[in-house]
Structure 1
Amino acid sequence: MLRNLILNQKLRAKVLERIEEFKLNNSANEEVWFRELVLCILTANSSFLSAFKALNCLGELIYYADETIISKNLRSCNYRFYNLKAKYIVEARKMIYGKLKDKIKPIADQDPFLAREKLLKIKGLGMKESSHFLRNVGYFDLAIIDRHVINFLKEIGALGEKRIRSLSKSQYIVLENILKSIASNFNIKVGVFDLFIWYKETNTIVK
């Protein structure tokens, strides 16, 4: 089924359109990069759609509002982890806003895996969220291993009957390498392959 999706010209066009948006983000300004970072902080332990809705509710507040105001607005948007994520957003802003692109882009241009290691120092970002952020600003060599990807790997027999509740860093890298191997069979990068899996599991391309 996945092969048929990848060969589907209409779907490929939609995926390539989304990829072009990510590439444009790569040359965008600091505000765009920080917005993508906040989106990934909000996505942790939440659905993408819930995080995206919360980000749009916050709007420009992510750039200047204090923790109390961000928390209040997240709560009004029916976002679950409003206090914790408000704290992470403000801490990320204090730590790296204004220098996020200058610090991460030169590293990612040379080694996106090293850039991911740097991003892990930001509270609220794990392997998945850091990979997601880098993909959304134009780097496609990292896997975004979420529940949809895990379901896909189970469907194709790559995980057997094993239940996975959380991934250690080493486990994440093992699954990432499996996905990269599969993606290479289709002659696409793993960050692009993710969008086809996302479509297969959700019937949308919004990630």
Structure 2
Amino acid sequence: MEYTFDRIQAAVAAIYPEIERTAMAGHAPLCEEQLWHELTCCILSSQVPYSLAQAAADRVNGHRILTPLHGLDAEGCERALRSLLGGAFVIEGRERRYRFPNSKARQLSQTRSSVVQSFGTLSAALSELGDAEVTRRWLVENAPGLGPKQASMFLRNCRGAYDLAIIDRHVLTYMEMAGLCRSDAPVPARYAGYIEYELILKSHSRAKGYMLGLFDYAVWIVMRIVARKEIAEGQAA
């Protein structure tokens, strides 16, 4: 089956209203422990399946190692995280290993130190930094392992920052089809490049009457389904 750009745009338009209704319903503010769980999952999700990152974040959160009240110093925090991330995880009945236990343990510990030294708590950091773009930039600069995509995801999940884009390979494929970027363009790793793509996508979404952070989610859902169907059809051929 051919997935034309017109069909993809129609699918995005069909699901957007429900996404907007859900988002506008609002969510209860997250507590400190929940904020750290979300941030942990975002940091751990780089280059690994999301289900594995979620399981690893759940384990870290269960031991409450990152909350300031835990009392661990930076070295003790990293050591404890390394032990937790180095263990086996069971994902859908299969035993899996997290790929980067040492580097991610170090990044999480350093992130915790940055937040505690600058603001005391993650809740205070979000409150004092205020503006979503300012907060994202601070996180990217002070939370090792957290790129603009992951930082945007964290702020959307925790603060409803729908003026930020989460640009991954699925959204980028849509942008290529729409002529918004060159073919086979990689997800921009540098902050300036990410902002450039985000501004292009924001202009595109506004022209269609959509909110950026809800539009890219609708695009992600549609393009993910298309990618899965194309893989299934290729295997069946």
Secondary structure of residue in 2 paired with 1:24:
coil
How is 1:8-87 mapped onto 2 (pairs within 5 angstroms)? Answer: 8=14, 12-13=17-18, 16-17=21-22, 19=23, 23-24=26-27, 27-61=29-63, 62-63=65-66, 64=70, 66-75=77-86, 76-77=88-89, 78-87=97-106
Task: Tell me how far apart the structure 1 counterparts of residues 181 and 153 of structure 2 sit (CA, whole Å).
Answer: 22
CA RMSD of aligned residues (A): 2.6
Whether the 8 Å CA contact 1:6–1:12 is kept in 2: the answer is: no
Structure 1 residues 166 and 13: CA distance shift in structure 2, 3 A: closer
Whether contact under 8 Å (2:164, 2:212) holds in the other structure is: yes
**What CA deviation, in whole Å up to 9, does each residue of 1:30-88 have, x standing for no partner?**
11112111111112233433322321233322435832332233232222111111111
Distance 1:55 1:13 in 2: 29
Q: TM-score, normalised by structure 1?
A: 0.81
Structure 1, unpaired ranges of 5+: none
The answer on whether the counterparts of 2:41 and 2:57 sit within 8 Å (CA) in structure 1 is yes
Query: Residue 43 of structure 1 contacts residue 51 of structure 1 at CA under 8 Å; is this kept in 2?
Result: yes
Identity %: 28
Could you tell me how far apart the structure 1 residues matched to 2:192 and 2:39 are? 23
Q: Is the 8 A contact 1:127 1:169 kept in 2?
A: yes
Q: Which runs of 5+ in 2 are unaligned?
A: 1-6, 90-96, 227-237
1:49, 1:73 → 2: CA distance? Answer: 16
SS in 1 for 2:47: coil
Residue 126 (structure 2) aligns with: 104
Correspondence for 1:119 among 122, 131, 139: 139
Task: Name the structure 2 match of 1:172.
Answer: 194
Q: Is the 8 A contact 1:15 1:195 kept in 2?
A: no
Q: Given the two structures, how large is their TM-score scaled by the length of structure 2?
A: 0.72
Question: Counterparts of 1:162 and 1:201 in 2: how far apart (Å)?
Answer: 15
For each residue in 1:123-154, what CA deviation from the matched residue of structure 2 results, as whole angstroms up to 9, or x when unmatched? 12121121111111111111112222222212
Q: Which of these two proteins has the greater Rg computed from alpha carbons?
A: 2
- What amino acid maps onto 1:128 in structure 2? K
Tell me whether 187-196 or 171-180 shows the greater mean CA deviation: 187-196
